[in-house]
Structure 1
Amino acid sequence: MTPLFNAIINKSVITVKYEPFNTPEYKVTFHPYFLKQYNNRWFVFGYNEFNQNQHWNLALDRINGDIEKSNEKYREDTTDWIEFFDDIIGVSKDPNRQVEEVKLVFSKEQAPYIDTKPLHWSQKTKLLEDGSLEVRIKVMLNYELEMRILSFGEKVKVLAPDSLVIQIKERIQKQLNNY
């Protein structure tokens, strides 16, 4: 992490060997801007020269070998990184997606945990007559949101948006087919 932190502070372009899951290793020239931890994994965000993506992220544990300094001219960044993560859960952000209101209902047993440890800063809650908890959050749909919802198992039901209801239902069906 120290070489990445130093590259961010010193505005240095780097070259790394990166090996995503289920994909062969490749070399990338990268302009690092921001470090973020999510779910016990660190990520570096920056500009990927190959695909010209200003908000590319690399998981630090997938970087292989040494981080090499490049002689390329550093591309400045004006992203407000705190605001960048404001409308997502996790680190995956699709610029083509819009923020949507996600509506969930948690079981009576799960309700106090969700009420005292919100899923997202935008969370609004309403205690229902049966003791269950209706939760509304405004976020972009992404992989980490889906995984978070699935982690609650039978103690949560997705009510909206319809696209998320369908996606979670399909994932649960595939999981059920494993048994």
Structure 2
Amino acid sequence: MPLNKSFQRRIEVLDACFRRRQRIWTIDALLQEVNEKLEGMGVSKISRRSLYDDLKEMSLTYDAPIEKYQSGKLTCYRYSNPDFSIRNLPLKQEEVGYLRDALDILRQVQGFQLTKELETVIAKLENTIATSVEKRHQIIQFEVETLATGIQWLDDLFNAIKGKTVLGLRYKPFNREDATDYEYHPYLLKEYRNRWFVIGRKEGRSSPTILALDRIMKLKPIQKSFEPNDLFDPETYFNNVVGVTLMKDAVTEQVRMQVQPDLAPYVLTKPIHSSQRLIKTSSKGVIILEIMVVNNYELRSLLLGLGPRLKVLKPKELREQMKAMYQEGLEAY
């Protein structure tokens, strides 16, 4: 059985049941308790068979001392050791090794002081077991990018978002001569192609403001009441966006493209956007794709980067924009 989030929730409920030794726990009582808790969490109920599987998995994976006993005519369940709880289980050496693997991956995200703090936590965990985890060679490696400017603000912004702190910052867009000072309520950090952005609220504004970290001149926390995020849902705000540019009046459009056979495998195995759908494949291998996205600079740049083997069929405005970009490029050469 995979140790997924739903399973973890269920065994936490079962563990709480078995620690309440004043109550008799039959399989029906356990099933009712688990399903009531799951329903309160907005999670689907489980069957009796799934409950039996969970009890078996608790015994195998967590060494839970679950025993059956008779109370009159009832078959009941409990911990044979009343002091046992899955919450009291120490991390094993192998599990600390998994944390080190995760840290090695996270460490490749440049600019976060957080990785040093995690290193300290893992070192403390290693000290709680008999021996340290053996050093492992690198298994996963990301593309090494030139370090983007502005990355020095990552820790300050991360802590400001976490601590709900208002920032006073100075910002200078590429297209302006002078920098502007204003108060800013940060809500979300987002990375796109090795550039970092922060999404939040300018003081007094009723719509999100997206700032590039490399255009921030300085920032500092200020003593002011933090306005909670009621402007956008971080989980869905960028669902129909390539990159980060999202104008206030932006509309999601159906973008249809024709892709030649030699490029098709690349676009199919690395979709342009999560909404990508294959509409048609011709006998010669030409494919038609659709995505549902906002027409922005990042989308046009991405499509241009795929070259002339990809042609936009609709919408008309995007098609004309792509045509103009190709003509401008031709004139440059």
The answer for the alignment partner of 1:29 in structure 2 is 183
- Establish whether residue 172 from structure 1 lines up as the match of residue 326 from structure 2: yes
* 1:98-117 pair list within 5 angstroms: 98-117=251-270
Q: Which residue of 1 aligns with 2:78?
A: none
| Other-structure match for 1:123 | 276
Tell me whether 1:90 sits opposite 2:247 in the alignment. Answer: no
Letter in 1 for 2:284: D
- Aligned pairs for 1:74-85 (under 5 A) are 74-78=226-230, 79-85=232-238
Provide the C-alpha distance between the structure 1 equivalents of 2:221 and 2:250, rounded to a whole number of angstroms: 34
Match of 1:9 in 2: 162
Structure 2 residue 171 is the aligned partner of structure 1 residue 18: yes
Residue identity opposite 2:271 in structure 1: P
1:10 shift after superposition: 1.0
Match of 2:220 among 68, 77, 83: 68
The structure showing larger relative contact order (alpha-carbon pairs under 8 Å, at least 6 residues apart) is 1
Q: Deviation of residue 166 (structure 1)?
A: 1.0
1:53 Cα offset (Å): 5.0
* Aligned-partner Cα distance in 1 for 2:241–2:293: 5
One-letter amino acid of the structure 1 residue matched with residue 298 of structure 2: E
Q: 4+ runs of 1 displaced by more than 3 Å?
A: none
* Residues matched between the structures, number: 177
CA shift, 1:128, in A, is: 2.2
Equivalent in the alignment of 2:193: 39
Partner of 2:207: 54
The letter for the 2-side match of 1:154 is: P
TM-score normalised according to structure 2 size:
0.51
Distance in structure 1 (CA, Å) of the matches to 2:192 and 2:286: 28
Say which one has the larger Rg: 2
Aligned Cα root-mean-square deviation (Å): 1.4
Closer, same or farther in 2 for the Cα pair 1:95/1:22, shift >3 Å? closer
- Give, in whole Å, the separation in 1 of the partners of 2:281 and 2:208: 38
User: What amino acid sits opposite 2:258 in the alignment?
Assistant: V
Shift of 1:120: 1.0
**CA drift at 1:34:** 0.2
Aligned-pair CA distance for 1:121:
1.1
Using the aligned pairs only, state the percent identity: 37
- Scaled by the length of structure 1, what TM-score is found? 0.93
Question: In the aligned structure 1, how far is the partner of 2:228 from the partner of 2:308?
Answer: 46
Cα pair distance change 1:150/1:49, threshold 3 Å:
same
- Return the offset for 1:95: 2.5
Q: Which has the higher helix share?
A: 2
Displacement of 1:97 in angstroms is: 2.1
